[in-house]
Amino acid sequence: LLDVAAPITVANFQSYQESNAWQNLIVHRNVPNFVIQAGGFTVSNSQISTVATNPPITNEFNPANSNVRGTIAMAMLSGNINSGTSQWFINVVNNSSLDSGKYTVFGRVIGGGMQVVDAINNIPSRNVSTLYNNGALGEVPLDNAPPAGTQITGTVTTQAGSNLVLGTGTSFTTQLQPGQSLRIGGRLHFVSSIQSDTQITLTTPAPAGNSSVTAF
């Protein structure tokens, strides 16, 4: 971390890292041959949550520290150089063009760390923004994920306040796996366990009942 060149930015990064804000943090943006980005979202019990942010920090861009491969820089809102909070990115290639946007470089990946970064960058990115109703999740690195919006056979029924899902003409054991997402009646759920082709349990109770509806 470049604590001499960017003391405010480094202190901000460390404050998130030392708190519980980044517990179960994920890389939520993966652009091949450009960047991987994190700091904004965590996962717990198959649910994605937004990181609670501290007040924005003052931009500390230094032309001497360019956005080249292996550097760590602050993410910002477009058009506002003093909007950095919890999100940061790692440059996978030389992105000196980002210097004109004053993206503050505050660290460098050392040792064999870029092998990990490159491995993440090689994972296919998928658009799950509609699934999670968040536009920031359009380029999430996901391996072995089925296409979003795949309709399962048959229909399902849920009861408000219950984790149980009953199916009619369904094939839960072959079409679903524990941990997968399931959209029922416009709401996203996650599969906890599969009892049979016609019965599964969700990680959280359904807030409303649905009778014989299609699921995806």
In tens, the pLDDT along 36-57 reads 999 999 998 767 899 999 999 9
Return the pLDDT at 46: 67
Strands 35-44 and 25-31: antiparallel
pTM of the model: 0.76
Contacts of 135 (CB under 8 A, 6+ apart): 129
Return the pLDDT at 146: 66
Tokens 């369904």, residue?
170
- Where the chain has pLDDT below 50, the residues are none
List the Cα angle 4/30/175 in 5-degree steps: 145
Return the pLDDT at 181: 85
Return the pLDDT at 26: 97
Return the pLDDT at 57: 98
Strands 71-74 and 105-108: antiparallel
Q: First-to-last CA distance in the chain?
A: 44
Token pair of 89, please? 């990115």
Return the pLDDT at 98: 97
Return the pLDDT at 18: 96
**Helices assigned H by DSSP within the chain:** 7-18, 113-121, 129-132, 172-175
Contacts of 34 (CB under 8 A, 6+ apart): 91, 92, 93, 95
Q: How far apart are CA 100 and CA 106, in angstroms?
A: 16
